[in-house]
Structure 1
Amino acid sequence: MKPTTRGTLAAVVTGVAATVGAAAPAAASGTVPVPVPLGGVSQPLDMKLPRLGAELPLLKPGVPEGPRYVTGRLVPDRTVPRLPVSSGLPGLAARTPLPHLLDDGFDHLDVDSPTGDLRTVTPGLSVDAPLTAPDGGTFGLPGARVPQTGVLPPVLRTVADGNVGTGPGL
């Protein structure tokens, strides 16, 4: 094996190991941190720039509610089941300098919105056939009736939280 091939293989294995090692803590916590690196821009521009960071939640699907069999109906209730999904609201952490107008000092403005729980249930569908169940009075034949459909509404539960504040210094 050539040395360049060995070096390339070692670089690929190192990259895969680093990716797997970084993904495990994010999957365990349920959020992925997203830093916004602005530090390199502040030096060339000779300015104070904001510090930004965010957290993106990971979606966790739940177990769908199965169909329920109801007596007197040919098609089960909840024909298209609703799927529960839990996640979180995205988080934001920002801090920006506020320059003084008359001197060289700075104050700061903080915006902090931590991730919050978000629980949803997707819409579902309930359909009933245009026939009744077979009946002994009609020689075992089903009767005709108006078809019925119903949309099971989606559900969304969350609590959003955030702080905005100012203070002296950076």
Structure 2
Amino acid sequence: MKSTTRGTLAAVVTGLAAAVSGAAPAAAVGTVPVPVPLGGVEKSFNIELPQVGAEIPVPVPGSPDGPRYVEGRLIPERVIPQLPVSGGLPGADMRAPLPHILGDDFDHVALDAPASDLRTMAPGLTLDAPLTPPNPKAFGLPEPKLPQAGVLTPVLQTVPAAALVTGPGL
């Protein structure tokens, strides 16, 4: 292999490695922090304001479970499959000064509600045809039956948490 070919190949491999390593941390982020800048207001009015921040989750769609073929049915189960989406509930972090209302040891009140995981599944649909599969006793002809339709219920699972704290210092 010529040295120019080796150099070109090395440059391509290095570029691909840099692109892959740069994309991995962005894909691993589950929430996006959102700070609320109140520093300018504090300096302008010369007062102590609450510190506020938030976390906004990034929803990630999953792969749906495809149709399932069941013996005795002409149409597979889950004609419209449920689509799973995982993400989270937004989080908040707030700290506010407290002017010694509760005593000398209490200088602030804080609320910490971290972003919590959220798992959802969209509703789906299942149908069955108004005919049975071919019946060998009836010369291979299907028999009529009542059609069936069903809605697969949506799913929502999460465990939110929050903490309210008072203490010294801001």
1:48 aligned residue: 48
Aligned residues: 146
SS of 2:107 mapped into structure 1: strand
Q: How far did 1:24 drift? A: 7.0
Listed as ranges, the gaps of 5+ residues in structure 2 are: 1-21
Take 1:23 and 1:97, find their aligned partners in 2: how far apart are those partners?
Answer: 40
SS of 2:160 mapped into structure 1: coil
2:65 aligned residue: 65
Matches within 5 A, 1:144-163: 144-163=144-163
Q: TM-score under structure 2 normalisation? A: 0.77
Take 1:120 and 1:55, find their aligned partners in 2: how far apart are those partners?
Answer: 19
Listed as ranges, the gaps of 5+ residues in structure 1 are: 1-21
Q: CA RMSD in A?
A: 2.3
SS of 2:98 mapped into structure 1: strand
Q: How far did 1:168 drift? A: 2.5
Q: Check whether the contact 1:80–1:126 (CA below 8 A) recurs between aligned residues.
A: yes
SS of 2:108 mapped into structure 1: strand
Distance 1:36 1:158, change over 3 A: same
Offset from partner CA, 1:31-81 (integer Å, 9 cap, x none):
111011111112222321111101111111111101111111110011111
Offset from partner CA, 1:103-134 (integer Å, 9 cap, x none):
xxx82110001122222222211110111112
1:128 aligned residue: 128
Q: TM-score under structure 1 normalisation? A: 0.77
SS of 1:99 mapped into structure 2: coil
Structure 1 stretches of 4+ with a deviation exceeding 3 A read 22-27
Q: Check whether the contact 1:27–1:58 (CA below 8 A) recurs between aligned residues.
A: no
